[in-house]
């Protein structure tokens, strides 16, 4: 963390709708503790800073410090339901696990794509005898700055996987992938790597225009796994800062979240290109904010068709608690 090294060049502000709205830069965020939950933790400021300052980490650290000062609890209002659901994930289900390898769909993919979730579970079971566990990776709790709870979640997941003899988890969600990979002892692979290993999935023809979700934007690690399913090198969409759901900031800044999607939708319309992503949260939020044309690459690779179900998302993930198959 080097916010003291900020030279106030204003580049982060130019690339960030949140900083722009409040006319601040990362170097003076320390004077704006009241705004830390308005940041989307998207990392755009980090990517553009000429001084190598990691704005995302600085704001996350400020959230953690505020929680710590408040006795481990959140001072910021408006997150009670989220915490209640995710801190010890109320829809967790480990009844369909198999030894060695399991699918870990996370909570957002089943929320927005319930039918595809079922089809993917059945495909992996039929082709490779792979089971499924439903849990939340803990990233939303971590992003709120609840460090102790984050550690408890990781410990709990680790113990459950170890007890079941699971050595590999297959992830559908880029948030779960990048959050769990450095934290868990088990092997973490993307669904694309697994599909390729099993000889499943089809090649997508032509040049795809892809919006990489925030957690994968820097390393493009998952996109590398997707690459084997693409006929041509994709065009990366970087006009939108975030899908608007990052950092649990969408509720604080609904207009900015809408603007972020609008920028991308306009680009798609102007260029007449369909936008692909590989994050269910992005797909869902695009639809919520009025852009209906985005495609989830995983569905295309598997030849599945389902539009994100934004109306019944909570019911869809509640059902995972009772999944038997
Ligand atoms: S881009 Fe970096 S140096 Fe420039 S204002 Fe932002 S944090 Fe400071
Ligand atoms: S992490 Fe994203 S939303 Fe937060 S300050 Fe940086 S660019 Fe802005």
Quote the pLDDT of residue 94: 94
Rounded CA separation 17/199 (Å): 42
Cα radius of gyration (the chain): 19
Instruction: Give percent of the chain with pLDDT exceeding 70.
Output: 100
Q: Which residues make Cβ contacts (< 8 Å) with residue 68, sequence separation at least 6?
A: 147
Quote the pLDDT of residue 324: 84
283-309 residues labelled b (16+ CB within 10 A) or e (exposed): bbbbbbbebeebbbbbbbbbeeeeebb
Ligand 1 atom closest to the CA of 5, numbered from 1:
3
| Helix, strand, or coil (residue 211) | strand
39, 53, 56, 58: which to mutate for ligand 1, most atoms within 8 A of CB? 53
Quote the pLDDT of residue 265: 84
pTM summary value: 0.94
279-to-68, 130, 284 alpha-carbon distances in Å: 31, 22, 9
Quote the pLDDT of residue 152: 97
Quote the pLDDT of residue 290: 83
**Phi-psi region for residue 79, left (φ > 0), alpha (ψ -120 to 50) or beta?**
alpha
Ligand 1 contact, 12 CB (< 6 A): yes
Quote the pLDDT of residue 1: 54
Nearest CA to ligand 1 atom 5: 8
Quote the pLDDT of residue 29: 95
Ligand 1 contact, 24 CB (< 6 A): no
Nearest CA to ligand 1 atom 4: 9
Quote the pLDDT of residue 99: 85
Rounded CA separation 193/263 (Å): 31
Q: How far is the CA of 124 from the centre of ligand 1 (A)?
A: 46
Ligand 1 contact, 49 CB (< 6 A): yes
39, 241, 249: which to mutate for ligand 2, most atoms within 8 A of CB? 39
Ligand 2 atom closest to the CA of 41, numbered from 1:
1
Which residues does the chain have with pLDDT short of 70? 1
Ligand 1 contact, 8 CB (< 6 A): yes
6, 18, 143: which to mutate for ligand 2, most atoms within 8 A of CB? 18
Ligand 2 contact, 145 CB (< 6 A): no
């Amino acid at each position: 963390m080097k916010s003291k090294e900020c030279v106030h060049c204003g580049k982060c502000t130019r690339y960030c709708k949140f900083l722009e709205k409040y006319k601040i830069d990362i170097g003076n965020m320390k004077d704006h503790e009241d705004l830390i939950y308005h940041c989307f933790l998207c990392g755009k400021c980090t990517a553009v800073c000429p001084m190598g300052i990691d704005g995302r980490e600085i704001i996350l650290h400020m959230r953690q410090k505020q929680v710590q000062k408040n006795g481990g609890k959140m001072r910021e209002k408006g997150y009670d339901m989220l915490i209640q659901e995710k801190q010890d994930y109320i829809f967790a289900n480990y009844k369909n696990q198999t030894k060695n390898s399991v699918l870990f769909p996370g909570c957002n993919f089943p929320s927005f794509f319930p039918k595809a979730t079922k089809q993917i579970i059945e495909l992996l079971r039929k082709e490779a005898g792979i089971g499924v566990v439903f849990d939340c990776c803990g990233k939303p709790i971590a992003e709120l700055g609840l460090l102790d709870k984050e550690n408890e979640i990781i410990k709990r997941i680790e113990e459950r996987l170890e007890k079941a003899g699971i050595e590999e988890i297959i992830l559908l969600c880029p948030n779960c992938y990048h959050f769990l990979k450095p934290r868990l002892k088990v092997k973490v692979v993307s669904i694309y790597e697994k599909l390729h290993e099993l000889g499943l999935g089809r090649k997508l023809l032509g040049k795809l225009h892809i919006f990489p979700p925030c957690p994968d934007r820097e390393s493009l690690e998952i996109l590398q796994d997707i690459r084997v399913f693409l006929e041509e090198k994709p065009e990366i969409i970087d006009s939108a800062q975030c899908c608007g759901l990052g950092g649990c900031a969408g509720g604080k800044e609904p207009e900015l979240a809408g603007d972020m999607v609008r920028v991308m939708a306009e680009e798609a319309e102007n260029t007449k290109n369909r936008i692909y992503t590989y994050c269910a949260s992005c797909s869902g939020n695009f639809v919520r904010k009025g852009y209906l044309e985005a495609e989830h690459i995983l569905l295309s690779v598997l030849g599945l068709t389902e539009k994100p179900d934004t109306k019944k998302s909570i019911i869809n993930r509640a059902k995972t608690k009772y999944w038997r198959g």
